Chains A and B, each alone.
Chain A
């Protein structure tokens, strides 16, 4: 068990090193943009992992949370000239308030209410973002959101920004690991596995769920802020329900409740549409069928594939050792 966990940490480290090396070989703006998007997705999915992965409550409103984070940071830094560092903290605070405010009514009861309210919430955010043209720019979008600098290094190119968010992602990953292995993480998993047992131990399920959802909202809002400052331009057209679904797809394809799985999922799912481009008109439907098949036949995600393959190897090596 312990070696398995150590293996996972090794793989995570290897993946991060690999990602850090990619820009050295592929110095093409298109690839760097995809890499940036990939790492931002990773951060958002680390958060979604708490509520949907560990606690087992379906959150279909990540797009709304992400949009709130993006708009908070973009509007504050653009209109009031605040440093993006401050505005990013502000959007994390917005995420915290959102998690509490939305989590309280929908997690009070058992059932599917969270999926419905989050879905409705992201639709409300989209309607407001589209129609409050004076503030958000509507579908025309919000232009020239400032980049920022770390100390004396200005993050003016996409490659520099990529290294910055890679460092942020590593920090978020370490934080995720810390939370998952702490008392909080054990409580989250217990909610998914056996609600009755948790209640009989005198723990409040609602508070645990709301805590998980708040963490998810904070990670999501932070990811949105990073996206706004990376892209420099946000429009309400990009925060659709499809975006929320995409994050759940990342979670499922990678492996639910597993941080290494989240990383693999965000790499695979961000790259897959680009790889399937050659199919032309049929690429979307192929993509959907692949995801549906992975939900039905590989419910534990790609990470379980690794376990199965390693299992086969281990058996073989044991058999060879026996001979």
Chain B
């Protein structure tokens, strides 16, 4: 029983990571119609800025390090939005996909040149376990669940209670109408990419205790985030959260039945199954 409990909790933790990935690219997809294929590399970049620069090189505290790296990636996000996403927004899908893929490759090469090719980890960050009754939970999983929950709530508040958030929702619904109503679509895009980058960096920081920090650390997370979006309902934020949780839990149980090397396939099988049976996803809302 306690094993099942443990599986569910670590599944929920991983699920929240996929949910955050889903949210992060859905925001950009809704604001600019660009599917961001470089998002997994942006997660890696966030982890490198946090672990490589602020903690290991500058020897900062964890809280300071996280806050500073969030600020740094937001600035990077503004630059990327201005140079890549705004020029791309009117091009055909093929060019936007290709340009973001190449952006990802450039980021990886930049990381390799700047921080070096050797993987590393952040010592002492969210290690150890907590025992509640008979259930043993790792600290990293608890941190992931709490942070992701706060992040989702904060995003919801931002989207529904503040003016920039409302503008983002307007642009997501209808870009042309929003522009006619006097919303500056370019500014909204820049804000969106910056917020998406902040979420990417948070994901990078949160998964760094689970995976080593390396250039390929987030390839799988990125792909499963896409699967989460499709399973929940593509382009719909609550759908991404539900899809992410489903993938996280299902793949943890799959690792109980099948050899654990095939665990990663569960998400993709779910993806194809949903496309065949219910292409609109669990929530039935797509954009």
Does residue B223 face the partner (Cβ distance < 8 Å to A)? yes
> Quick one: which of A109, A119, A288 contacts B279, CB cutoff 8 A?
A109
Please tell me if the beta carbons of B102 and A124 are within 8 angstroms of each other in the complex.
Answer: no
Residues of B within 8 A of A83 (CB): none
Query: Which residues from B are CB-within-8-Å of A299?
Result: 91, 95
Q: How far is the CA of A86 from the CA of B286 in the complex (A)?
A: 45
Q: Does A140 make an interface contact (CB < 8 A)? A: no
Residues in A85-132 with C-beta less than 8 Å from chain B: 104-106, 108-109, 111-113, 115-117, 119-121, 123-124, 127-128, 131
Instruction: Choose from A58, A104, A123 the contact partner of B97 (Cβ within 8 Å).
Output: A58
Interface residues on B, range: 35 or more
Name the residue among B35, B226, B265, B272 with the largest chain A CB count within 10 angstroms.
B272
Assess whether B103 is interfacial by the CB under 8 Å rule.
Answer: yes
Contact B264–A123 (Cβ < 8 Å) = yes
Query: Which residues on B sit within 8 Å (CB–CB) of A245?
Result: 101, 105
Do B279 and A108 have beta carbons less than 8 Å apart? yes
Q: Does A22 contact B (CB under 8 A)?
A: no
The A interface, classified by DSSP as helix, strand, loop or mixed, is helix
Stretch of B55-63, B106-114, B125-133, B147-155 at the chain-chain interface: B106-114
**With A56-B93, A291-B102 known to touch, is A127 a contact of B227 (CB < 8 Å)?**
no
User: Interface residues of B: mostly helix, strand, loop or mixed?
Assistant: helix
Q: Which interface residue of A58, A113, A248 has the most chain B CB atoms within 10 A? A: A58
Given known contacts A120-B223, A127-B262, A292-B103, A281 and B268 CB-to-CB distance under 8 angstroms? no
* Size bracket of the A interface: 35 or more
What number of residue pairs across chains A and B have CB atoms under 8 A from each other? 101
Contact across chains for B106 and A285 when beta carbons are under 8 A apart: yes
Partner of A288, one of B35, B105, B265: B105
* B window 241-269: CB within 8 A of A: 259, 261-262, 264-265, 267-268
Tell me if B3 counts as interface (CB < 8 A to partner A). Answer: no
Binding site for A on B (CB under 8 A): 35, 87, 91-95, 97-99, 101-103, 105-106, 109-110, 113, 219-220, 223, 226-227, 230, 234, 259, 261-262, 264-265, 267-268, 271-272, 275-276, 279, 286
User: CB within 8 Å of B: which residues of A?
Assistant: 52, 56, 58, 60, 104-106, 108-109, 111-113, 115-117, 119-121, 123-124, 127-128, 131, 241-242, 245, 248-249, 252, 256, 281-282, 284-285, 288-289, 291-292, 295-296, 299
19 extra A-B contacts, CB within 8 A, seeds A56-B93, A108-B279, A109-B279: A58-B93, A111-B234, A112-B35, A112-B97, A113-B230, A113-B275, A113-B279, A116-B230, A120-B272, A123-B220, A127-B261, A131-B259, A248-B101, A252-B94, A252-B95, A282-B113, A284-B109, A285-B110, A296-B99
